[in-house]
Chain A
Amino acid sequence: MAILVDSGTKVLVQGITGREGAFHAGQMRAYGTKVVAGVTPGKGGGEHDGVPLFDSVAEAVARTGANASAIFVPPPFAADAILESVAAGVPLVACITEGIPILDMVRVARYMKGSGTRLIGPNCPGITTAGQCKIGIMPNMLFSTGNVGLISRSGTLTYEVVDALTRAGLGQTTCIGIGGDPIIGTKHIDALQLFAKDPDTKVTVMIGEIGGSDEEAAAEFLQGSGMKVVGFISGRNAPPGKRMGHAGAIISGSSGTAAGKIAALEKAGVPVAGTLEDIVPLVRRQLAS
């Protein structure tokens, strides 16, 4: 089972002829992902490493039946790329691009209201269902199949945790990097709701960070949900008003602090790991409970 993507997912890559897009499309295929189309305006009719190229997303969808898109388009054009996929009715869009202007994302969020598309990201590593399908830039060799789900705002911490889980013999169902921007398509709570319905996912690891109130909203959802979750929050020592690399990782006034998020999760009965090393033992404990 797992969530959102599996071996049947057919992926189109927007920006496949760019440096990042080309490299990661290759990595995705090496993982076994069905990359069925590439979209680069003006290069339709050609092909890239055996993948047919199209001028538009709509055409790629019509011709190949693609049902997911990976976006590797530079920031000034990325919002438009998302909207093109939304307009073409692509059910799942993962936008990897970092550095999209925030008002572009406000417009994207507005345009997407009521649409059937789920957006993951932007500024995210994408989504992987272990052994079946990888969309994005997560390193291929980390994953193993099992029953742990993972949701994370940070790319590298996702890799750290997946690596630790795999080394501990704890395989994964699906790992979603939801992204480090203030406006993202899929928040912690949305991903948790999906994992809640997945019979294969026994425990979900949720990696949050300072800024915003998505972790608090997730905690509210988890209260009494019966879901087995392990939490982790980074940025405990970030000073207010300083942006910690991610555009979304900033404490403003008294809101968005790590302490507030940890307290909210613990209040909802979610054990929160003090360090990354504590995550594996907590996952084991949750699996055994």
Chain B
Amino acid sequence: MPARILGCVKLYEYQAKEVFASYGLPVPKGEAASTPQQVEEAARRIGGRVVIKAQVHVGGRGKAGGIKLADSPEHARDVAQQMLGSTLKGFVVKYVLVEQALPIDKEYYLSFTLDRDSQNIIGICSAMGGVDIEEVAASHPDKIVRMPVDIAFGPLDFQLREFIGRAGLDGSKSREISAVVKKLYDVYVSTDASLAEINPLVVTADGRVIVADAKFDIDDNALFRQKKLEVYKDASEEDELEAEAHRRGLTYVHLGGSVGIIGNGAGLVMNTLDIVNQAGGKPANFLDIGGGARAEVVRNALDMVLLDKEVKAILINIFGGITRGDEVARGVLEATATLDVRVPIVVRMAGTEAEAGLKLLEGTKLLPAATAVDGARKAVELARSAA
């Protein structure tokens, strides 16, 4: 399904619409705002009935109270007063989008994303828009239409006709809808997107075709050639700790448990999370220091994990391949000598120079573990007794 496949840079709806509009996609008249005053002014400039939409990266905003109508600028101000600063599905609303309200006749779904299996870009559309597409896929799989696109050619005209026809979209609007599909594909390819989604694509009562909501993720591996989109990177961080980690250049995911995890290699760290869970603990984070980590990286990683106040114990899991165990041990020792380490640290080390590394840790406060499973048990126990 249209998954947020890579999605390190997730754009907010208002940012997505800015980019979409620059590619000629029809978006409603609207403005982003962060204070009730700004909302009132925006509503006045837009004129008429407006919709106020909370800018957070979660689905189902409408049901959660994140999308509201307002009949006047004053009303818009009142609505914004309530919405700004409130928490929606765990996310604080810092921005709202004020938009012209649309007289909706029909709601469709449209997206481009990557299909891993066919290694192609795939277009997806449905006449059942405006709702969670995963739910549509589960309840009405026949209502989801797919169009594999050959990147050498882009979507072909006959494919577009078939795509729109099979989905059962309004035939009298097929020219306008076709244009939207083509432009969305252009956005997808030109911006190195991993997901470009319109849900819903609206046909208004007066016959206009408009992008009512947009979801847009950029492949962060391509940011080196998408300088214009780099500005959206910082704003895409919802989690304070993750934002800090990315500023430090660390591969970190905040998970909310009490056992801090540091390891080398994505697969190994993922596996470390698994064994901590199997030992009955809750990992606080995913942190991969990568290959050939030097003392400075280890120090940075430890410091990062310690920023998380929920962390009660830390498990360092290293398999030395190219990375040498003795070097990592030196890095850990240097780090603990200079940092205020308030929790116990368990170190499991195997592979290249692991014995030498473990020898260096003897007689220090660091607790060695023979295996990853053993280390996980120790760390979980320590976290539990500290809680």
Identify B224's interface contact among A76, A183, A248, A255, CB under 8 A.
A76
A99 near B119 (CB under 8 angstroms)?
no
Identify B351's interface contact among A139, A235, A241, A274, CB under 8 A.
A139
Whether A182 touches B116, Cβ cut-off 8 Å, given contacts A139-B352, A234-B274, is: yes
Say whether A152 faces chain B, with CB atoms less than 8 Å apart: yes
A102 near B319 (CB under 8 angstroms)?
no
Say whether A51 faces chain B, with CB atoms less than 8 Å apart: no
B88 shortest CB reach to chain A, Å = 16
Listed residue (A210, A246, A252) with the most chain B CB atoms within 10 angstroms of its CB: A252
Could you tell me which residues of chain B, from 239 to 274, have a CB within 8 Å of some CB in chain A?
251, 253, 255, 263-271, 273-274
A159 near B270 (CB under 8 angstroms)?
no
Could you tell me which residues of chain B, from 352 to 380, have a CB within 8 Å of some CB in chain A?
352, 371-373
Chain B residues, Cβ within 8 Å of A137: 291, 321-322
A235 to B152, CA, bound (A): 35
The segment out of A81-89, A104-112, A195-203 that lies at the interface is: A104-112
B6 near A247 (CB under 8 angstroms)?
yes
Say whether B200 faces chain A, with CB atoms less than 8 Å apart: no
Say whether A213 faces chain B, with CB atoms less than 8 Å apart: yes
Chain A residues, Cβ within 8 Å of B121: 103, 106
Say whether A47 faces chain B, with CB atoms less than 8 Å apart: no
A239 to B319, CA, bound (A): 24
B199 shortest CB reach to chain A, Å = 14
A101 near B266 (CB under 8 angstroms)?
no
Chain A 230-248 against B: per-residue CB contact (8 Å), 1 yes, 0 no?
0000111111011111111
What residue in chain B is nearest A105 (Cβ atoms)?
A: B119
Say whether A275 faces chain B, with CB atoms less than 8 Å apart: yes
Chain A 95-136 against B: per-residue CB contact (8 Å), 1 yes, 0 no?
000011111111101100000000000000000000000000
A252 near B267 (CB under 8 angstroms)?
no
Identify B270's interface contact among A104, A234, A277, CB under 8 A.
A234
B270 near A238 (CB under 8 angstroms)?
yes
Q: Which bucket holds chain B's interface residue count?
A: 35 or more
What residue in chain A is nearest B251 (Cβ atoms)?
A: A245
Chain B residues, Cβ within 8 Å of A103: 121, 151, 189, 192, 219, 222
A249 near B219 (CB under 8 angstroms)?
no
How many A-B pairs have beta carbons closer than 8 Å: the answer is 180
Whether A244 touches B253, Cβ cut-off 8 Å, given contacts A102-B221, A160-B319, is: yes
What residue in chain B is nearest A207 (Cβ atoms)?
A: B267
Whether A183 touches B119, Cβ cut-off 8 Å, given contacts A101-B219, A139-B351, A142-B321, is: yes
A106 to B120, CA, bound (A): 6
Say whether B277 faces chain A, with CB atoms less than 8 Å apart: yes
Chain B residues, Cβ within 8 Å of A277: 371, 373
Say whether B278 faces chain A, with CB atoms less than 8 Å apart: yes
Say whether A44 faces chain B, with CB atoms less than 8 Å apart: no
Chain B residues, Cβ within 8 Å of A274: 278
Identify B114's interface contact among A106, A214, A246, A275, CB under 8 A.
A106
A237 to B282, CA, bound (A): 9
What residue in chain B is nearest A241 (Cβ atoms)?
A: B4
Listed residue (B4, B116, B253, B269) with the most chain A CB atoms within 10 angstroms of its CB: B116
Chain B residues, Cβ within 8 Å of A190: none
Chain A residues, Cβ within 8 Å of B265: 154-157, 245
A159 to B351, CA, bound (A): 8
Chain B 203-237 against A: per-residue CB contact (8 Å), 1 yes, 0 no?
00000000000000001011011000000000000
B355 shortest CB reach to chain A, Å = 13
What residue in chain B is nearest A76 (Cβ atoms)?
A: B224
Say whether B3 faces chain A, with CB atoms less than 8 Å apart: yes
A213 to B1, CA, bound (A): 12
Chain B residues, Cβ within 8 Å of A235: 270-271, 273-274
Say whether A52 faces chain B, with CB atoms less than 8 Å apart: no
Identify B319's interface contact among A159, A209, A252, CB under 8 A.
A159
Please give the residue numbers on chain B whose beta carbons come within 8 Å of chain A beta carbons, in ascending order.
1, 3-8, 114, 116-117, 119-121, 134, 150-152, 189, 192, 194, 219, 221-222, 224-225, 251, 253, 255, 263-271, 273-278, 283, 286, 288, 291, 319-322, 350-352, 371-373
Residue contacts A-B, CB under 8 angstroms, 18 given: A75-B221, A102-B114, A106-B151, A139-B321, A139-B322, A153-B267, A155-B291, A156-B268, A159-B321, A214-B116, A235-B273, A237-B283, A238-B270, A245-B265, A246-B266, A249-B270, A250-B7, A252-B3
Known: A102-B192, A109-B119. 4 other contacts (CB 8 A): A76-B225, A99-B221, A110-B152, A237-B276
Please give the residue numbers on chain A whose beta carbons come within 8 Å of chain B beta carbons, in ascending order.
75-76, 99-107, 109-110, 137-139, 141-142, 152-160, 163, 180, 182-183, 207, 209-210, 212-214, 217, 234-239, 241-250, 252-255, 274-277
